[in-house]
């Protein structure tokens, strides 16, 4: 702080417009603070060097250029030529409130447009995806239906396996699967169709189809498996069909035992 004060006082001594008394007082003060008179005067003399060399007068060229420029400017004002800086400035000043509102509206529109674009894009993508997935599903089902008509049991097994991987098969696919379960001449294919139908046992069409299927089955393996499934599903509608089967004397012994137990459970 003292150093700053010291610098300030010297600066004032050199540059300040001081009276002789004021100068003496500052010099005395600086001496008290430890500066010698020679030291003080060396600063004053260096500052004096700057004054030793007066600045020359500028040439007439400077004045001529200035007055020429001033004349041009006067002409512009008289002729009403636009002052580019001023016109820009006044435009911005006058348009500023409107620009703020416009910027707000533009921002809102931009936000809205962006949101709806994103929404539309995503909606469009979703629609496209849904459409595509629907088309794939339809194609797959057609393929499956066609495969189930094939003479080769391997192809029919492949078709049934494909159906069991479907999330939400159409009614015609279920009907086709039930048809395979009831009429396919290959036991393995029918058994596989039954396993595939178990996955969709929540569908009424499937449950009813399974009940009806009892009368179509001749293979003890399939009869036993179908009985287990109907018991597991607590399908009481199967009881009349079970009774009918029990009346059949040719019914397999193991199947009879299974159906007796099922009837007891379902009653």
Applying CB under 8 A, the residues found at the interface with other proteins are 4, 7-8, 10-12, 14-15, 42-43, 46-47, 49-59, 61-63, 65-67, 69-70, 73-74, 77, 83, 85-86, 89
How far apart CA 161 and CA 202 sit, in angstroms, is 19
Tell me how far, at minimum, the Cβ of 96 lies from other proteins, in Å.
16
Nearer to other proteins, 67 or 108 (CB): 67
Residue number, 75 or 261, with CB nearest to other proteins: 75
Question: Which is closer to other proteins, CB of 85 or CB of 253?
Answer: 85
CA distances from 29 to 1, 32, 47 (A): 16, 5, 20
Q: How far is the CB of 52 from other proteins (least distance, A)?
A: 7
In angstroms, rounded to a whole number, what is the distance separating the alpha carbons of residues 182 and 178?
A: 6
Cβ atoms within 10 A of the Cβ of 141, count?
A: 18
Q: Which is nearer to other proteins, 61 or 204 (CB)?
A: 61
What's the token pair of residue 219? 């293979």
The single-letter DSSP state of residue 142 is H
Cα-based torsion angle of the residue sequence 182, 183, 189, 191 in order, rounded to the nearest 10 degrees = 20
Nearest distance from residue 95's CB to other proteins, in Å?
17
Which of 56/202 has CB closer to other proteins? 56
Nearest CB to other proteins, comparing residues 54 and 97: 54
Q: How far is the CB of 120 from other proteins (least distance, A)?
A: 48
Q: Would you say 46 or 118 has its CB closer to other proteins?
A: 46
Q: How far is the CB of 25 from other proteins (least distance, A)?
A: 16
Give 63 or 208: the residue with its C-beta nearer to other proteins. Answer: 63
CB 123 within 8 A of CB 115: no
CB of 100 to other proteins, least distance (A): 22
Q: Strand runs (DSSP E) across the chain, as ranges?
A: none
Least distance CB 104 / other proteins (angstroms): 28
The rounded distance, in Å, linking the Cα atoms of 226 and 82 is 97
DSSP 8-state symbol, 57 = P
* CA distance linking residue 264 with residue 261, whole number of Å: 5
Q: Which of 170, 213, 220 is nearest to 193 (CA)?
A: 213
Read off φ and ψ for residue 16, nearest 5 degrees.
-70, 150
């Amino acid at each position: 702080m003292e150093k700053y004060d010291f610098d300030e006082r010297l600066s004032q001594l050199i540059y300040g417009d001081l009276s002789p008394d004021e100068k003496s007082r500052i010099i005395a003060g600086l001496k008290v603070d430890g500066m010698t008179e020679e030291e003080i005067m060396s600063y004053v003399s260096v500052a004096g060097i700057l004054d030793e060399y007066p600045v020359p007068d500028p040439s007439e060229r400077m004045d001529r250029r200035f007055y020429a420029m001033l004349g041009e400017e006067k002409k512009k004002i008289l002729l009403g030529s636009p002052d580019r800086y001023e016109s820009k400035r006044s435009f911005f000043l006058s348009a500023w409130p409107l620009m703020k509102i416009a910027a707000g509206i533009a921002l809102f529109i931009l936000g809205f447009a962006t949101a709806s674009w994103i929404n539309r894009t995503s909606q469009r993508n979703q629609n496209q995806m849904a459409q595509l997935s629907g088309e794939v599903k339809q194609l797959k089902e057609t393929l499956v239906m066609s495969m189930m008509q094939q003479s080769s049991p391997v192809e029919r097994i492949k078709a049934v396996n494909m159906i069991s991987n479907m999330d939400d098969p159409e009614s015609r696919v279920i009907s086709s699967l039930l048809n395979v379960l009831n009429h396919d001449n290959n036991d393995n294919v029918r058994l596989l169709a039954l396993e595939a139908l178990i996955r969709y046992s929540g569908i009424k069409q499937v449950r009813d189809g399974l009940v009806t299927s009892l009368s179509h089955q001749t293979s003890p393996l399939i009869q036993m498996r179908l009985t287990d499934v109907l018991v597991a599903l607590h399908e009481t509608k199967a009881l009349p069909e079970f009774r009918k089967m029990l009346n059949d004397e040719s019914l397999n012994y193991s199947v009879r035992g299974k159906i007796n137990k099922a009837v007891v459970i379902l009653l």
